[in-house]
């Protein structure tokens, strides 16, 4: 097959940032996707209705309202029930994001004591407010490669048991254990997967020299985990869908003594995914993963537009950077050739 047409995809996890970075990168998402869920880990974070309103306006002033944006509320231990209900029922936010304290970029207002948020989770369950989880155990005794599994064992299993009606997305999953956990849980438990966790593993990041632009959290894992992710994503299973976790940082903040976590993958996301699905002879499941499964889980309308991808004999050429004035952001580029390009319909 040399050409495919699929329903326009959605990105169920993206970091738009603010100010100049927002202006540079948000148009890239708009070029490709129909809908997106925008992360709240700004400095300072989006912790209430007022901040969400202001952020939504900043995004719409930048890219218009063609791309449907769904904001998230950054969960803190101080969030009150009335603040949450106000933000949700005013349509200022669509979902709540749980960051364990210190787990990742700008997570220092996150959750330290999970017991403290149980009443909020109960309220979310009653009101059908989706919970999006950065699932990593931040206990310093836990090895960084085991943090996802430990979070599932220590915390998520109990949350799922206590709140079976709560809609939970375990975000940017990276391990076979996470795949198995989602498969064995009820239908309210789903997972998003990033292009870079499907296309790269820890060898890509560490063999032959360290690649700071591949450093992200949860960190890339060993090959067998990547294989498990590819297997489930390409299967079309409706519990798994695309969330790019595209997370731009300035070039000099990545290439630093203490480099930031995050991979900016928006630009070549669909081309890379199509190549991966093609390699597995699963192009027929691409649309489920990128355009249907997430939208159905969140009970939102399926996009009306279609996109076309075309396969050529020659691999596509990647631009290394997205640049404007003195801002440089590295595009994620997989370490295999990609023969698929994206055409506008
Ligand atoms: O690699 C990551 N970068 N993981 C996250 O969870 C946050 C993100 C960011 O905001 O840079
Ligand atoms: Zn993220």
pLDDT of 48-100, one tens digit each? Answer: 999 999 999 999 999 999 999 999 999 999 999 999 999 999 999 999 999 99
Select from 104, 136, 194 the residue to mutate for testing ligand 1; criterion: most ligand atoms less than 8 Å from CB. 104
CB atoms within 10 A of CB 279: 12
**Centroid of ligand 1 to alpha carbon of 310 (angstroms):** 31
Domain ranges of the chain: 3-342
pLDDT digits over 18-52, tens only?
999 999 999 999 999 999 999 999 999 999 999 99
Residue with CA at minimum distance from ligand 1 atom 10:
105
How many Cα atoms within 13 Å fall on the side-chain side of residue 109?
16
Pairing of the two strands 131-133 and 168-170: parallel
**Contact of 329 with 24, CB cutoff 8 Å:** yes
Task: Quote the pLDDT of residue 97.
Answer: 98
From the CB of 192, is ligand 1 less than 6 Å away? no
Q: What is the pLDDT of residue 336?
A: 98
Q: Is the predicted pLDDT of residue 345 greater than 70, yes or no?
A: no
Tell me the H-state helices in the chain: 19-32, 49-63, 81-89, 118-127, 147-151, 157-162, 176-184, 195-199, 202-206, 223-235, 251-254, 269-279, 286-287, 293-297
What pTM did the predictor assign? 0.98
pLDDT tens track for 262-288: 999 999 999 999 999 999 999 999 999
Question: Does the C-beta of 15 come closer than 6 Å to ligand 1?
Answer: yes
Regarding beta strands 327-330 and 321-324, do their DSSP bridges make them parallel or antiparallel, or are they unpaired?
A: antiparallel
pLDDT in tens, 128-173: 999 999 999 999 999 999 999 999 999 999 999 999 999 999 999 9
Reading the block at residue 291, the tokens are: 């355009």
CB of 262 closer than 6 angstroms to any ligand 1 atom: yes
d(CA 291, CA 8): 6
Judge contact between 242 and 12, C-beta under 8 A: yes
Q: Is the Cβ–Cβ distance between 159 and 125 less than 8 Å?
A: no
pLDDT digits (tens, 9 = 90+) for 228-245: 999 999 999 999 999 999
- The predicted pLDDT at position 288 comes to 99
Residue 129: both structure tokens together: 């407010």
Whether 6 lines ligand 1, by a CB cut-off of 6 Å, is no
> Does 180 participate in catalysis according to the annotation?
no
In tens, the pLDDT along 287-330 reads 999 999 999 999 999 999 999 999 999 999 999 999 999 999 99
Q: How high is the pLDDT of residue 298?
A: 98
Of the residues 11, 92, 137, 245, which is catalytic?
245
Q: Is the peptide bond before 294 cis (omega within 30 degrees of 0)?
A: no
pLDDT in tens, 122-139: 999 999 999 999 999 999
CB contact at 8 A, 303 and 7: yes
Provide the 10 A C-beta neighbour count for residue 82.
9
pLDDT confidence of residue 1: 73
- CB atoms within 5 A of ion ligand 2 belong to 245
How many Å apart are CA 166 and CA 188, to the nearest integer?
6
What are the structure tokens assigned to 225, written together? 């985990």
328 CB near ligand 1 (under 6 Å): no
CA 110 to chain centre: 18
Average per-residue pLDDT for the chain: 98
Q: Which residues partner with 11 through β-bridges? A: 36
Domain 3-342 has CATH 3.20.20.140: yes
Task: Work out the percent of the chain whose per-residue pLDDT is above 70.
Answer: 99
């Amino acid at each position: 097959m040399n050409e495919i047409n699929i329903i326009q995809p959605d990105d169920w996890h993206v970091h738009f940032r603010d100010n100049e970075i927002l202006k540079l990168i948000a148009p890239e998402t708009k070029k490709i996707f129909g809908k997106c869920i925008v992360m709240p880990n700004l400095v300072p974070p989006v912790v209430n209705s007022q901040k969400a309103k202001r952020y939504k306006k900043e995004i719409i002033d930048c890219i218009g309202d063609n791309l449907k944006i769904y904001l998230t509320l950054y969960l803190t231990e101080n969030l009150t029930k009335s603040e949450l209900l106000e933000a949700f029922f005013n349509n200022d936010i669509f979902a709540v994001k749980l960051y364990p304290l210190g787990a990742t970029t700008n997570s220092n207002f996150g959750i330290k004591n999970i017991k403290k948020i149980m009443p909020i989770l109960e309220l979310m369950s009653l009101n059908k407010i989706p919970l999006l989880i950065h699932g990593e155990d931040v206990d310093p005794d836990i090895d960084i490669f085991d943090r996802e599994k430990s979070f599932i064992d220590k915390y998520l299993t109990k949350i799922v048991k206590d709140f079976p009606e709560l809609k939970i997305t375990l975000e940017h999953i990276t391990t076979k254990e996470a795949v198995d956990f989602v498969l064995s849980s009820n239908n309210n438990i789903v997972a998003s997967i990033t292009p870079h966790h499907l296309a790269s593993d820890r060898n890509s990041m560490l063999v032959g020299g360290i690649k700071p632009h591949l450093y992200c959290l949860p960190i890339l894992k060993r090959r067998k985990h990547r294989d498990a992710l590819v297997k489930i994503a390409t299967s079309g299973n409706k519990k798994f869908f695309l969330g790019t976790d595209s997370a731009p940082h300035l070039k000099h903040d990545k290439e630093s003594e203490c480099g930031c976590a995050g991979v900016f993958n928006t630009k070549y996301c669909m081309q890379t995914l199509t190549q991966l699905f093609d390699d597995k002879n699963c192009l027929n499941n691409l649309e489920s993963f990128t355009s249907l499964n997430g939208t159905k889980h969140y009970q939102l309308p399926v996009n009306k537009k279609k996109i076309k991808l075309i396969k050529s004999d020659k691999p596509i050429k990647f631009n290394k950077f997205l640049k404007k004035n003195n801002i440089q952001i590295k595009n994620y580029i997989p370490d295999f050739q990609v023969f698929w390009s994206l055409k506008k319909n």
